[in-house]
Amino acid sequence: MSRQTPTRPGLAVLVAAVLVAALLAGAAVLVARRDTGPAAPSSDPAPSRPAPSSYADVDPDAYAAELLAAARAAHVAAGLPAWQDAPCVGDLARDRARALVGAELTHAPLKDVLTACAPLTTAAENLSRGAAPAADVVAAWDRSPGHRANLEDPALTGARAGCVHDGDQLVCSLVLVGP
């Protein structure tokens, strides 16, 4: 069974403001989504590098590792233990990002993640598209209540990130799972 976090009336205005700020910084971000399903996984961020003028030549896997490290550091900074690697997610984070190339950032149901990660019952996702250092993307997520809720959720214990090129930008999915 899946559920989506309900939206609040003022959330659309907040999301619009975050998007404008993120676009100015070179990263577009979208409100996080969480699904739950049937019942039963180094916290130092990568050093931030200067933003290239185009991310077309940036290795998406290396960027995903930087994004995961920066997000993990935000999780730990909230006083929580570092996320474990979520091998059950496998390439799903990258596949989810690939599905958004050339399209609006929209969360798809996380049923595929819950199926792959059973018996875990909770999955959440933060998305980004842009040409900005990973630390800047996580900082934008930290300013968004929905994204921050995912970063600071103690029930989410495992994480994987996947990124792909979208023109001269990168689109990324940070997938979080837990019991």
DSSP string, 14-31: HHHHHHHHHHHHTEEEEE
- Residue 2: inside a domain: no
In a domain, 102, yes or no: yes
pLDDT computed for residue 113 by the predictor: 96
For the chain, the C-alpha Rg in angstroms (whole number) is 15
Task: Determine the distance from the C-alpha atom of residue 167 to the mean position of all C-alpha atoms in its chain, rounded to a whole number.
Answer: 20
Q: Which pLDDT does position 73 carry in this prediction?
A: 97
Residue 160 lies in a domain: yes
End-to-end CA distance of the chain: 14
**Could you tell me if residue 30 is inside a domain?**
no
Whether residue 29 is contained in a domain is answered as: no
Is 124 a member of any domain? yes
Domain count, the chain: 1
Q: What is the pLDDT of residue 50?
A: 52
**Does residue 12 belong to any structural domain of this protein?**
no
CATH code, domain with 111: 3.40.33.10
Average pLDDT, 10 consecutive residues per value, the chain (179 residues): 32 33 34 40 42 79 97 96 95 96 93 96 96 95 96 97 96 97
Domain limits at 140?
77-178
CA distance 26 to 132: 5
* Domain-embedded: residue 44: no
- Scan for tokens 């609040």, then name that residue: 8
